Structure 1
């Protein structure tokens, strides 16, 4: 029996997806198996759209976080100190800086500018490395005489 998809269910699915829930977790939320969720997705365009919209929000959030991590950022915070001789802690508002992260920057560039940043392995194939020439060079290094060709 196919489960009826309600507006409340669609809203719950979208919110769960926005918060990074996996399909398995969403299926559990809907009290169904992951396989049943996949079947339901094939018959209900509204469910597919709710998942797509929710996951896009989560992906955008991660993308923004990765970008900020790659470029560095600052944030306001409060440091609490207990100086010697004081009876109460001292709170000071400061701006803390997180420096750029090289790994995040490389990851970002490899995915956003693949043609410039991907790990390239270009091989140039040449006919100078035939099996006969390789054997000949090996024989020379070993001090062996060349075998005459038949």
Structure 2
């Protein structure tokens, strides 16, 4: 008689289960902590990662920095991308006997989305703010005198941004006593 193993505690192929594991990885939990939350030993969880690619992929995906994913999506949108879409339609067609029957028609299309100028501006403003921040550039242009020079106050303001100033005046209120 063959020995029967016990049923697994979790459905490791369930999308919701994998999403939960991915979320824990994204929240910064390590493998031991995730194994504990799943009521598994760390060694068994490590074995599962080696056997089940879906579990390993969920952990890797969760640990990938979200900023990188958003940055990549923004970059793709800014430079243009190709999008594949699948449309399923039911069409009534006659069969061999001349009777009408429903036939599913699957149509796959690939659409090229042009670069999005809004996404491109957002990308440039965050990657090269000194060059692409319109408000700063406009202010600098306004501060340039007719002879092509910039006023010293504007230059100081632009170069001391974010620094603490030691020359603030302190006003004192006296009652005259």
Asked if Structure 1 and Structure 2 have the same fold, meaning a TM-score greater than 0.5 normalized by the shorter chain, the answer is no
TM-score with structure 1 setting the length? 0.43
TM-score with structure 2 setting the length? 0.37
RCO higher in 1 or 2 (8 Å CA, sep ≥ 6)?
1
